[in-house]
Amino acid sequence: MSEAEVDSEQPAVGHALDGLAHPRHRLRKLTSSGWIPTPAGSSFASAIPRSMSSVSCFEPSFIFDSCDYDAIPEDVEADLIGETPTASEGEEEPSSRDSDGTSPAEAAARSSENWAKVKAITRWQRQLSATRKRRAKLATSFALLYFLCGVGSHIPMELLVTEDKSAAFLCAILIHLFIVVRRLPSIPAMIGDHRIPMKWHFMFSACAFGYAYLKALGITMLPMTAVVVVSNLQLATGMIVGALWLDKRYTSVQIGSVLLTTSGIIACALLSSHGSSQATESSDMALGLALMFTAVLCGTLQTFLVNRCFSIYGPHVDEQLLMQHLIGLPLLLASPRGAESIRRVLLSQSSGRAALVTIAYLTGNMMLAQLCRRYMLRLSSTTQHVTCELMATIQRFACLLLSAYVFHAPPYPPRTMALGAAALLVGSLGYVWAPQYAGAGKTKEE
């Protein structure tokens, strides 16, 4: 149906509506031309929602989902949002108004503004949807790579610690050295033009040094299975750090999940040490557990600080990694066990072949651990902290299974250890999917 035929259907309306200035007539024009679809066999009036029947200026949101705005020709769109045409020569400007006192010119201006808002919202929603999909794909990729690199770095660590437990210190030193040497040409520029204030870098380095050094000390006092199990205390330490420093509140379901996780960790640690072939004194066991708990607390505090820093200054992952390891490397070398580990692991090999195997294990652990940290930081910059905790728990649970049932078997751990592992996993998943505290968002904004 042509535009002239549409206009001729209403001869009593008069020449004031020849330009279809009123929004309802503009909508009729788009409907008759096929740009706004109507159900088959229905009239134009039936295509208009009831809420528009008494409104002089329609809100075009009802065609938001059914009309492709980019496909509307420019001439039709210009006619839709154009100004009311002036009266023909020799004709008087009509003074008719709608029942609510709105003139056709005012209605046309309001319609033009509404259409501009609709198109802006459409573009914004498309961009937001594309951004969310892109961030979801990135987060999934980073989570998978973090899991694979974390489990991969645990395998050479297990083989090294089985030969000499002081290798844990050497692994930490080599990871720091690898990152610093790899970024050596960019160190002067990074220091001179750093985007993150230096006080943040010193806090990151202190937490990272506490985590690496105390964990290495704990490895010398505990079976490797117990070390992996206690590393899953991140949920409990995260709750402690959040309550003490961030003034966060937790629901009863979250608290119960953390208690279940902690009880499973304690059971697994005790049972794994009981089934270990290496005898461990009770005093060393208690001290090792305390050191591991403090190490995990330092790691959790660093994670919170990194998330907070990235939310303020942006996700400068390369700068954060380089400065953290550049400051932490001298601390590890000057530590009591640092230099000794180099002498014991590298210089005390019985043969050249054993030295080459040790170097291969150290290189694999160094590269995979560095990639694991990088992908963890990438993941924390693209998703929520809870997702990072979930992936860390899943990764450590996989390392626990490898340590207990592959590297240190036989003898296999007691069957009751499976109950502790199940409590650990169920508690971790329950914490992640537990409802958040109602005032958490408000407290964070304040």
Query: Tens of pLDDT along the chain (446 residues)?
Result: 444 444 444 444 343 334 444 444 444 444 454 444 444 444 444 444 443 443 333 333 333 334 444 444 444 444 444 444 444 444 444 555 555 566 777 777 777 777 777 777 887 777 777 777 787 888 888 889 999 998 898 888 888 888 778 888 888 888 888 888 888 888 888 888 888 999 999 999 999 999 989 988 888 888 777 787 777 777 777 777 777 776 777 788 888 888 887 787 777 766 665 545 444 566 777 888 888 888 988 888 888 888 888 888 888 888 888 899 899 989 888 887 777 777 777 666 666 777 788 888 888 888 888 888 888 878 877 777 667 777 887 787 788 778 777 877 677 777 777 777 788 778 877 776 777 666 544 444 44
In three-state secondary structure terms, 390 is helix
Residue with tokens 């420019």: 74
CA–CA separation, 149 vs 370, rounded Å? 9
* DSSP symbols for 379-433: HHHHS-HHHHHHHHHHHHHHHHHHIIIIIT-SSPPPTHHHHHHHHHHHHHHHHHT
Q: What percent of the chain has pLDDT over 70?
A: 69
- Whether 400 contacts 267, CB under 8 Å: no
- Whether 443 contacts 249, CB under 8 Å: yes
Q: Which residues neighbour 75 within 8 Å (Cβ) at sequence distance 6 or greater?
A: none
- Whether 357 contacts 165, CB under 8 Å: no
In three-state secondary structure terms, 214 is helix
pLDDT of residue 61: 38
pLDDT of residue 205: 92
Q: Which residues neighbour 438 within 8 Å (Cβ) at sequence distance 6 or greater?
A: none
CA–CA separation, 320 vs 316, rounded Å? 6
**Distances in whole angstroms, Cα of residue 270 to Cα of each of 122, 184, 373, 416:** 58, 44, 29, 11
CA–CA separation, 370 vs 319, rounded Å? 14
219 burial level (CB within 10 Å; 0-12, 13-18, 19+): buried
pLDDT of residue 148: 92
Token pair of 176, please?
A: 């720091």
CA–CA separation, 276 vs 404, rounded Å? 9
Which residue type sits at 353? R
183 burial level (CB within 10 Å; 0-12, 13-18, 19+): middle
CA–CA separation, 173 vs 234, rounded Å? 23
Q: What is the DSSP letter of 60?
A: G
Which residue type sits at 240? I
* Nearest one of 291, 271, 263, 248 to 444, comparing CA atoms: 248
Q: pTM here?
A: 0.58
